[in-house]
Amino acid sequence: MNNNRILILGGTGVLGKALLDTCNQNQEIFITYQKELPEKLQRLSTRQVDIRSKEQIKNAFDWADPGIVIHLAGIANVDLAETDYSLAYEVNVEGTVNVINACKRHRSKLIFLSSNAVYNGDHPPYDEEAPRSSVNSYGNMKIQCEDLISNCGLNFSIIRAILMYGWHYPSARANPVTNWIANLKNDKPIKVVDDRFSQPLFAQDCANTVWSIINQQADGIYNVAGPDRLSLFDFAIKVADVFNFNKDLITPVPSNYFPNIAPRPVDTSFIIDKIRNQLLIQPRGIDEGLKLMKLTQEV
């Protein structure tokens, strides 16, 4: 197994970009995407793959022959997982089965991106051993994937990430921060819930966690979050402060203001002692993460 050959499945999202921005130059990185390849990735080793296809996954693994697989591919839209459960299940769960089987054939270590959605939010903060119970279909699919991976016999790591933010490629799915920035810089008012709480995670800190897992050859489950717990409304105010936007454009609203299809947990805050002590990861606070975003924004 060559740990310098790394296959990133679904590598065009915010974490995929952060991984490429922080990777070791000695590593051979292979990237799959499903719909559109960002222009900045066109000179890299890339391949279009639908993880629902056993044949496409097999061919991708034969192409990359990876020692390590970072599985980021899937449907992350929580409402879509409710409205089109069958599609989300095919991609998120059955697709993960295809990935597991391919990892077995190539004897690859599997690093899987899970979510804070595996917790119901009733008893925060959560460490890695806390009971899992989701309030929506998306979280239940993540629980199923975690169980499949934990029992498959492979070397594996599971990263439960919470509200990742950072710059993404133009064609990629936005995150709350980039959505707020896009609106506020055009003086468009936004409404943000003030009764849901989180620990926003700067995407590069999640990427650093992945690289630390690889460098230390660490296995197991890791809850990964930033150190600051606050409401989404207060988070949006922080964004306005750092980027010098008009805070008066931001209005706090209760979560029932938005007609979400899927329920959301109130507070899935994490205990992050394990990544601090075992992986030596010290996630950045919100002010530092946002200021770094401002410094690295493209004009």
**Per-residue pLDDT averaged across 152-160, rounded?**
97
Buried b / exposed e along 101-137 (16+ C-beta atoms within 10 A): ebbeebebbbbbbbbbbbbbbeebbbebebebebbbb
* Residue 277: inside a domain: yes
Q: How far apart are CA 270 and CA 116, in angstroms?
A: 8
pLDDT in tens, 106-146: 999 999 999 999 999 999 999 999 999 999 999 999 999 99
pLDDT in tens, 11-55: 999 999 999 999 987 899 999 999 889 988 988 999 999 999 999
pLDDT of residue 298: 66
Is residue 246 pLDDT above 50, yes or no?
A: yes
* Residue 293: inside a domain: no
Is residue 299 pLDDT above 60, yes or no?
A: no
Domains of the chain: total: 1
pLDDT of residue 129: 97
Percent of the chain at pLDDT > 70 equals: 99
pLDDT of residue 1: 60
119 token code pair: 């917790």
Q: How far apart are CA 28 and CA 281, in angstroms?
A: 24
pLDDT in tens, 169-214: 988 889 999 999 999 999 999 999 999 999 999 999 999 999 999 9
User: Where does residue 266 rank: exposed (0-12), middle (13-18), buried (19+ CB within 10 A)?
Assistant: middle
**Per-residue pLDDT averaged across 157-175, rounded?**
94
Nearest to 105, CA basis, from 57, 71, 148 = 57
* Residue 97: inside a domain: yes
Question: Could you tell me the CATH number of the domain that includes residue 47?
Answer: 3.40.50.720
Task: For residue 33, list its beta bridge partners.
Answer: 48
Domain around 111 = 5-168+200-225+268-284
